[in-house]
Amino acid sequence: MSQVEIAIGDTRDVANVKLSLCDKCVYMKPSTILLMLDLEQCVEHAYFDLCQYTNIVSDKFDYFVNYLRQNCIMNKLEAVNTLRRIYDKHSGIACELIVYAVDNMHQRQLLNRP
């Protein structure tokens, strides 16, 4: 981004910002540039939230696998029933993990790998 050239000018009596890089350029209204800069904070916020949710899912997955491992639960049906008994009923993440990832949790527990 350090090689981007920025020029402000008028096209047909309308203020425009010209962004150039190599042989390519794009023209935008100043308000569009400002909106993009405002959206950058939204993207950073969404990225931060996504990272947090990813960490929560990973931690919950590991918790479930360790629980199955510590209790020596080898049967898949028993694993599902056990997880249904212990999960936080108010956690959408826990509920979705049980529905979508029980096969992976059970396999990891059986293989006894972290």
Domain count, the chain: 1
Question: Is residue 78 scored above 70 in pLDDT?
Answer: yes
Are 17 and 7 in contact by the 8 Å Cβ rule? The answer is yes
Q: Per-residue pLDDT tens for 33-56?
A: 888 888 778 888 888 999 998 999
pTM of the model: 0.57
With respect to residue 98, please indicate whether it lies within any of the assigned structural domains.
yes
Is 49 a domain residue?
yes
Amino acid at 21: L
Q: What is the mean pLDDT of residues 6-27?
A: 86
User: How many Å separate Cα 100 from the centre of its chain?
Assistant: 17
114 within some domain? no
Phi-psi region of 12 (alpha: psi -120 to 50; beta: other; left: phi over 0): left
Say whether pLDDT at 71 is over 80.
Answer: yes
Owning domain of residue 22: 4-109
Taking the C-alpha atoms of residue 89 and residue 96, their distance in angstroms, rounded to an integer, is 11
